[in-house]
Amino acid sequence: MSNPPSDCLSHTGSKEQSDVLMNQYIEDYLDHLCAPLLGIVPYVQRYRLRSEAQDHLLSLIEAFRDEGATPAEATALAVREYGEPYQIGQGWAEAWVETVERDSCRVRVATPLTLRAFGWFGIFTVVNFLLIERQLFWTHRDDLFPLTQLVCALSPLLAGMATGANCHPRATASICRAVLLLALCSAGISCQFLPKWDGLWFALIQCVFWLPAGCLCAGLTAFLCRQFRIQRYRAQTC
Amino acid sequence: MTNESDLLRGNTPTLILAVLAETPRHGYAIAQEINRQTDGSLKFKQGTLYAVLHKLECDGLVRGEWQHEDGERPRLVYAITQSGRETLTERVEAWNRFSRAMDRMIGSIVPGDAPIGESMGEMSEQPA
């Protein structure tokens, strides 16, 4: 863990200004600590974890200052003692996922991430649906076929990237639930508005291709985004 | 070092239950008590305690309660439950059995002696 920003160390203002800068640094640390929890842990639990971490850090800072450290030194020692924010947050997220998956009675179907995945995959489902309708009913069958194929192939990748941009890499269960639900809806709606086999074929593609491709893309995007945030945080605090 | 980390990771719940068995504490106090009782010999990042505390709370082994005292920050204080005490007893018994077995197995080896492989190789080369 790196030291607080150099402007804190070199700041020669009043004690109050120094304390404000230290508090800002701690709040920034806590933001990065809780980042891996977004979309995984409900807000109430996240707030509780953040409050506990803040109290723990402030206690550590007080202890180090009692030993004679300056505010900047005490803060640096405290965050080093507490741990790398993304690693600690990752540990919390994994503990939460383990306890939720273990207790089947408390599995939440509509987590925030499930809703986000449902939204993004739903948008691309509607787009594909409209293309299929247009191809079947409004234009010659062969005109839009290559475009429909391309859009159908790219849709899970784009939806996965949009879903994974701000979620935990291991939270693919939420994406699976969303895509399976969409496939069921597609099958039901298709049978009403499309020739039966085209609609069912699209639903089958969603289950066989969209599901693994979407989950893989979302997980990869989440991993890369997390690595980017970690590197940016380290660069800011060096 | 890796072996020590693995040992610590697997036994952190037991350490926390042992500390809470004495008196209810909040997270910072738990970390300080572990450091005090072990003379700082167990190296761990204090933030990792809260993931373990969450699991213990979900298992019903500890119970957290916010305490608000005048002039103090609100703190979440953890207390061990009856189920936690029973689990602690089981884990202590299991640890004692394990450590006795390990002592019997490797207790005669003195740190600083030749590595086990070399000494056993020398033994195998000796005439019967």
Q: What is the mean pLDDT of residues B54-62?
A: 91
More confident residue, A158 or B43: A158
Mutate to test the interface with B, among A46, A60, A61, A82 (most CBs of B within 10 A): A82
On the question of pLDDT at A3 being above 70, the answer is no
Residue with tokens 């701000």: A166
pLDDT (0 to 100) of residue A167: 67
Does A84 reach chain B within 8 Å, measured CB to CB?
Answer: yes
Asked if the Cβ–Cβ distance from A83 to B73 is below 8 Å, we say no
Is the minimum CB–CB distance between A50 and chain B shorter than 8 Å?
Answer: no
Is A115:A42 a contact under the CB 8 Å cutoff? no
For the cut 70, the answer to whether the pLDDT of residue A170 exceeds it is no
Query: Who contacts A183 (Cβ-Cβ below 8 Å, separation ≥6)?
Result: A203, A206, A207, A210, A211
Residue B119 is predicted with a pLDDT of: 47
- For chain A, the DSSP string reads -PPSPHHHHS--S-HHHHHHHHHHHHHHHHHHHHGGGTTTS-HHHHHHHHHHHHHHHHHHHHHHHHTT--HHHHHHHHHHHH--HHHHHHHHHHHHHHHHHH-GGG--SS-HHHHHHHHHHHHHHHHHHHHHHIIIIIS-TTTSHHHHHHHHHHHHHHHHHHHHTTS-TTTHHHHHHHHHHHHHHHHHHHHHHS-HHHHHHHHHHIIIIIHHHHHHHHHHHHHHHHHHHHHHHHHHH-
* pLDDT tens column, A130-145: 887 777 776 655 566 7
Query: How close are the terminal C-alpha atoms of chain B, in Å?
Result: 38
Best A33, A49, A59, A84 residue to mutate vs chain B (most B CBs within 10 Å):
A59
Average pLDDT (B66-93) is 89
Nearest by CB to residue B48, choosing from A58, A88, A103, is: A88
- Identify the bridge partners of residue B25 per DSSP, sorted by sequence position: B78
Mean pLDDT on B70-87: 89
Cα–Cα distance for residue pair A118/A79, rounded to 1 Å: 38
CB contact under 8 A, B46 and A81: yes
Confidence label for B120 from pLDDT (cuts 50, 70 and 90): very low
Residues of A within 8 A of B73 (CB-CB) are 55, 58
CA distance A101 to B115: 44
- Out of B51, B75, B76, closest to residue A92 by CB: B51
Q: Do the Cβ atoms of B54 and A94 come within 8 Å?
A: no
- pLDDT, position A238: 55
Checking A184-187 for CB contacts under 8 A at 24+ apart, the result is A185/A125, A186/A125, A186/A129
- pLDDT at position A136 is 72
What is residue B118's predicted lDDT score, i.e. its pLDDT? 53
Asked if the C-beta of A53 comes within 8 angstroms of chain B's C-beta atoms, the answer is: yes
Average pLDDT over residues A83-100: 84
Is B45 within 8 Å of A60 when comparing Cβ atoms?
Answer: no
Which of A57, A3, A143 has the alpha carbon at shortest distance from B45? Answer: A57
For chain B, say whether A82 makes contact (Cβ under 8 Å). yes
A229 in Cβ contact with A33 (< 8 Å): no
For residues A67 and B8, give the distance between their C-alpha atoms in angstroms, rounded to a whole number: 28
| Test the B interface: residue of A1, A26, A55, A96 with most B CBs within 10 Å | A55
- Look at residue B63 and tell me whether its pLDDT is greater than 60: yes
Q: Are B45 and A87 a contacting pair at CB < 8 A? A: yes
Q: Give tens-digit pLDDT for A17-32.
A: 777 888 888 999 999 9
Q: Is the Cβ pair A95, B27 closer than 8 Å?
A: no
